Structure 1
Amino acid sequence: MRFVTFEEGGAARVGVVRGEAVVPVSDLVPDVPASMKALIATGVPAGLEDALGRAPADAGRPLAGLTLRMPIADPGKIVCIGLNYHDHAEETGQAVPTYPPVFMRCTTSLVGPGEPMIVPKCSEQLDYEAELTVVIGRACRHVSPADALEYVFGYTLMNEGSVRDYQRKSTQWTGAKNFDRTGPVGPWITTADAVPPGAAGLRIRTLLNGAVMQEADTSGMIFDVAAIVSTLSEIMTLEPGDLIATGTPAGVGMGRRPPVWLKPGDEVTVEVEGVGALTNPVAAEA
């Protein structure tokens, strides 16, 4: 199933995607949580899939006419893994890590589907990064890799925008990864049962103005989803609605000669097969 947060009447609603339409969850089953984060915490409502199957063909709203928001408006944590594809480590000239490089993003750095990524006033070096993003479904701490996927609710996408000259200003990446409105997330959450275990073996790519810039396979990750969830759970309690961006493959703008930076007027799409496609325009900071 695919769950989406959309705007209606000035308020956010949670819906389930069926074909080219979105059916509000509250139209299908009673007493459902009002937010995506609460729905994840309580679990998919019993009978929802059956109710969706029985709903009339014209139930719901056309997906194309909706304003989609970030699937989770208030993730408790946004954890990111760096250098997690062999080919990306190679293109950056860095050694393949033996332990996942971990950094955090804050909520002000994120935007929803269709919202502009912002090129900051102080830099022209905004780069794209297609990333499969894990959505945690149940609280966990000290879980083994063998059990880690049991705590994954589903997957979404992040274009983990990075301001590269600021990434080189410091030995850690917090500044470069937290410029306002540089990290689109969405367009929805695809539940874990809809893709292979750990979302392995799925094509991942970036298109910039229609041209393919990144194209790889999630099996190319150095640390797979189970390993990432297990490792992070050694450090922190992972909670429902937390997001984990799992790294990007080769083909980023920084690695090209000459480099390719996102410019106002561009349109960038990141895709993961079976999960979805997330498209955003690029604009200058006001």
Structure 2
Amino acid sequence: MKLLSFRRPDGTPSWGIAKNEGVIDLGARAPGLKHALWAMTSLAEEAARHADYRLEDIHFLPPVPDPDKVLCVGLNYVSHIKEGGREPPPKPIIFTRFGNAQVGHGEAMVCPAASETFDYEGELAVVIGRRCRHVKKADWESVVAGYACFNDGSIREWQRHSGQFIPGKNFFRSGAFGPWIVTPEEVGDVTKAHLMSRLNGIERQHATIDDLCFDIPTLIEYCSTFTQLEAGDVIATGTTGGVGAYHKPPLWMKPGDTIEVEISGIGILRNPIVAED
């Protein structure tokens, strides 16, 4: 299944299931998608219904518009570690991203007035399906609702103000998440999926998910040890080599650009870039 959050043609928020011909609206079942992730079997039964809206008639929101937390992993692809001339970290580098620092598929990512060093980071997002704590690596699949594309849009200048990444990762509407969550049985072995980023149609990043330094089971075990994970929480697993900061000269996103993050078997997250008002 492909699960998504969206605005109906009349502008009211809802959530449901995406199909080839459109969207099944399940907004009457729960106040938001994260409240229904535990009921996958029941949701699958709804997938046979006819679509209520065409995809072109809805406005995409982040699949989970109001996550309790978004945990991001820094320096987690071997290719990205190498391009920065670093050594692999001994433990996962975790920072947080706020809910209002991300937009949905098709929505504009905002290039802030405070800096021009606006970089892209194509990533795989793992969405947690139920409340959990102290999850062992062997049990990681039992807590995963699905996968999505993620763009951890970064203001490099602010990211480097100190050893803490948070300021550069949380400018208002600077990242993106979507277009939907694809459930694990539809994705298959996610480690074989190809992750690509394209800026204005030109491929700038490409790797398979098995290039991760810390794999998904390790990240879930680590994160669920220091915090209680909730349904709808997101673990953005890191970006691969090819980010704009390491191009010569640096390749920053600017107003008028379009950035795409594609993961095979999941979809394409596409966003225009606009200037801050």
Band of TM-score, shorter chain: over 0.9
1:11 maps onto 2:12 in alignment: yes
| Offset at residue 83 of structure 1 (A) | 0.5
Q: Residue in 2 aligned with 1:32?
A: 29
> Tell me, what secondary structure is at the counterpart of 1:246?
strand
Q: Residue in 1 aligned with 2:106?
A: 114
Q: Residue in 2 aligned with 1:144?
A: 136
Q: Residue in 1 aligned with 2:230?
A: 239
1:213 maps onto 2:204 in alignment: yes
Which runs of structure 2 are paired with 1:97-108 in the superposition (5 Å)?
Answer: 97-108=89-100
Structure 2 counterpart of 1:17, one-letter code: A
| Contact kept in structure 2, 1:149 and 1:225, CA below 8 Å | no
Structure 2 counterpart of 1:44, one-letter code: M
Structure 1 counterpart of 2:71, one-letter code: V
| Offset at residue 132 of structure 1 (A) | 0.3
TM-score by length of 2: 0.95
| Contact kept in structure 2, 1:20 and 1:64, CA below 8 Å | no
| Distance in 2 of aligned mates of 1:245 and 1:173 | 14
| Distance in 1 of aligned mates of 2:258 and 2:46 | 37
Structure 1 counterpart of 2:16, one-letter code: G
| Distance in 2 of aligned mates of 1:52 and 1:141 | 30
| Distance in 2 of aligned mates of 1:128 and 1:20 | 31
1:60 maps onto 2:55 in alignment: no
* CA gap 1:105/1:34 in 2 versus in 1, 3 angstroms: same
Q: Residue in 2 aligned with 1:43?
A: 39
Q: Percent identity?
A: 39
> Tell me, what secondary structure is at the counterpart of 1:134?
strand
1:161 maps onto 2:153 in alignment: yes
| Contact kept in structure 2, 1:135 and 1:153, CA below 8 Å | yes
| Offset at residue 44 of structure 1 (A) | 2.1
| Distance in 1 of aligned mates of 2:111 and 2:218 | 33
| Offset at residue 45 of structure 1 (A) | 5.1
| Distance in 1 of aligned mates of 2:95 and 2:264 | 26
For structure 1, which runs of at least 5 residues remain unmatched after alignment?
none
For structure 2, which runs of at least 5 residues remain unmatched after alignment?
none
| Distance in 1 of aligned mates of 2:22 and 2:255 | 31
Deviations 1:218-251 (A, max 9, x none): 0111111111001111111111010110000000
Structure 1 counterpart of 2:11, one-letter code: G
| Offset at residue 51 of structure 1 (A) | 4.4
Q: Residue in 2 aligned with 1:267?
A: 258
| Contact kept in structure 2, 1:3 and 1:16, CA below 8 Å | yes
* CA gap 1:51/1:139 in 2 versus in 1, 3 angstroms: closer
- Paired residues in the alignment total 276
| Offset at residue 162 of structure 1 (A) | 0.6
Q: Residue in 1 aligned with 2:62?
A: 70
Q: 1:278 aligns with which of 251, 254, 269?
A: 269
| Distance in 1 of aligned mates of 2:29 and 2:57 | 24
| Distance in 2 of aligned mates of 1:284 and 1:50 | 43
Deviations 1:202-222 (A, max 9, x none): 000101110001011001111
| Offset at residue 10 of structure 1 (A) | 2.5
Aligned-residue Cα RMSD (Å) equals 1.4
| Distance in 2 of aligned mates of 1:177 and 1:263 | 17
Q: 1:177 aligns with which of 165, 169, 177?
A: 169
| Contact kept in structure 2, 1:32 and 1:45, CA below 8 Å | no
TM-score by length of 1: 0.93
